[in-house]
Structure 1
Amino acid sequence: MATQQTGTQAVDRAAELLTHVVEAAGPRTFTSLVEQTGLAKSTVSRLLQALERHRLVQRDRSGVFRPGAVFAVYAARQGVGSDLVELTTPTLERIGARTGETINLAVPRGDAVVQVAQVDSVHLLGTTNWVGLSVPAHCSALGKVFYAFRTLPLPTGTLERRTPRTITDRTDLERDLATVIRRGYAIAREELEPGLVAVASPVRARDGSVVAAISVSGPTARITDRRAEQIGALLVTESAALSSILGHTVRTEGAA
């Protein structure tokens, strides 16, 4: 009975800590959590370590605590995305610094793609605020990612032609999606808007499902075919690192 009571007490204390972190208006310091719970520092430290192991809280470089990757995945699947935005911001900013182009984070919502975060290009040409906008999935790099990895069901009706380069044939789209799966990223060159190129890659949750996608976009004058390939390789690396934060691991052949 004593063991059961002790176990229940530990769960209660961990739940209290987690509640303080999740319900706070901003990141919480270790000291503030100790003061608010009234628990010993050693107890708070031990419980926070357990919550970190299970990705329920995350400690950043400055040592403060915020909701962990589990909440980000849940938010993305519910079409909320706010926790996911906070978690992915360092990645988006890093890609922006490397490319100088517009960086977007998108989540699937219904049968559409909604962009929930953006890092602006350093260039005046090609800077558009996409946040909150829903774009047709079949002619955007982000949408192709969700189609390719079956996060969104493939369209059954007529595919809208937005530009002369928009893919409107279902067979052609499926062929393009097969390429996305093979190389790990999607490209949409002047398919959504004339003069606009975008490259996107998937962000995976622990179970391997694609819960979000990251894109780099800019004008055709800057994102040539060769540069699109370079950006694609960068995105594959960065999105894989971000996916690992969300708990996804790549199984290798022969792994138990």
Structure 2
Amino acid sequence: MTAGAPGLASPTSPGAGTQAVDRAARLIDLVIHSDRPLTTSELAEATGLARSTASRLLSALERTELLERTVDGYVGGQLFALYAALHDPWPQVARLAEPVLQSVSAACGETVHLGVARSDNVFYIAQVESTYLLRARDWNEVEVPVHCSSLGKVLCAFGAIKVPPGRLEKLTEETRTREQLVRELGEVRARGYSVSCDELEVGLSGLAAPVAGLEGSVIASLGVSGPTVRLQEQIPQLGRLLADEGARLASLLQAPAQARGVA
């Protein structure tokens, strides 16, 4: 099917606007249901549109953030990611966070991760590997107790997770008691980042900062982890870096909603 083919409305006819919407909707449908990025040529062939027509429609969809063009082709745009974040948030939040994680990684070389609350534990949803040979493990899809992880302390300090009740499991000599944890959470709120040194495992340390979501409440924590011997000399610098990058990620999540006047 090409522009001007029999049975199609002309650009100036009353049905032209509806036809453009139908064509754009078809392009979006193909991209969203594909398990890989689709090129302009593939989309033109699948819809029967002339390549020039498909290219114009795709450019318009990209400008309105319904689609996004990558080096491999078109994928769902930021508006879809933000909508999905209200319903099934974590895969889309992880996707939006990727540039921020890469920026932190480039600055410090350590393992960088993004964690969220799940069943009163920390669940890691994204990670960038350290550039060092001696590095932290892969934390993706691993649940970690709140009281002995830097990401968990952040989520707890800002209300995303409740302070664990009762006696806390002591994993190392440095693991916090409940009373120590409660005191420390005030410090986390005051300085804007948390620190965990040898509390989950001897020789392993981490830092983390909060990430606020669409409504301004903390929904995730952005952190780094690595050998204690390497991190302990960099705590102030890394803390400030994570606080800044956590705020940048929050702005990515919030800016489109603010532009539309959403509280």
The alpha carbon displacement at 1:132 in A equals: 2.0
Aligned to 2:247: 240
TM-score normalised over the length of structure 2: 0.76
- Separation of aligned partners in 2, 1:104 and 1:89: 10
1:155 and 2:169 are equivalent in the alignment? no
1:53-75 CA deviation, whole Å, 9 max, x = no partner? xxx54445x48432344555566
Aligned to 2:131: 122
- Separation of aligned partners in 1, 2:48 and 2:25: 14
Q: Which amino acid aligns with 2:130?
A: S
Aligned to 1:49: 63
Cα RMSD for the two superposed structures: 3.1
Q: Where does 1:92-171 land on structure 2 (aligned, <5 Å)?
A: 92-170=101-179
- Separation of aligned partners in 2, 1:70 and 1:203: 19
Q: Where does 1:177-256 land on structure 2 (aligned, <5 Å)?
A: 177-224=185-232, 226-248=233-255
Q: Where does 1:6-25 land on structure 2 (aligned, <5 Å)?
A: 15-25=25-35
Aligned to 2:181: 173
Paired positions, count = 240
Aligned to 2:12: none
The alpha carbon displacement at 1:15 in A equals: 4.5
The alpha carbon displacement at 1:158 in A equals: 2.4
Contact 1:159–1:168 (8 Å) recurs in 2? yes
Aligned to 1:254: none
Structure number with larger C-alpha Rg: 2
- Separation of aligned partners in 2, 1:110 and 1:91: 26
The alpha carbon displacement at 1:204 in A equals: 2.5
- Separation of aligned partners in 2, 1:91 and 1:122: 16
Structure 1 portions without partners, runs of 5+: 252-256
Q: Which amino acid aligns with 1:100?
A: G
SS in 2 for 1:106: strand
Q: Relative to structure 1, is the Cα distance of residues 232 and 165 closer, same or farther in structure 2, using a 3 angstrom cutoff?
A: same
Contact 2:84–2:92 (8 Å) recurs in 1? yes
- Separation of aligned partners in 1, 2:33 and 2:219: 23
Contact 1:77–1:211 (8 Å) recurs in 2? no
The alpha carbon displacement at 1:178 in A equals: 2.0
Contact 1:17–1:33 (8 Å) recurs in 2? yes
Contact 1:104–1:215 (8 Å) recurs in 2? yes
The alpha carbon displacement at 1:221 in A equals: 0.9
TM-score normalised over the length of structure 1: 0.77
Q: Relative to structure 1, is the Cα distance of residues 48 and 118 closer, same or farther in structure 2, using a 3 angstrom cutoff?
A: closer
The alpha carbon displacement at 1:188 in A equals: 0.9
Q: Relative to structure 1, is the Cα distance of residues 59 and 148 closer, same or farther in structure 2, using a 3 angstrom cutoff?
A: farther
More displaced 10-residue stretch of structure 1: 114-123 or 95-104: 114-123
Structure 2 portions without partners, runs of 5+: 1-14, 259-263
- Separation of aligned partners in 1, 2:26 and 2:157: 41
Contact 1:73–1:205 (8 Å) recurs in 2? no
Q: Which amino acid aligns with 1:154?
A: V
Contact 2:135–2:226 (8 Å) recurs in 1? yes
- Separation of aligned partners in 2, 1:209 and 1:7: 41
Contact 1:101–1:121 (8 Å) recurs in 2? yes
Query: How high is the sequence identity, in percent, across the aligned residues?
Result: 42
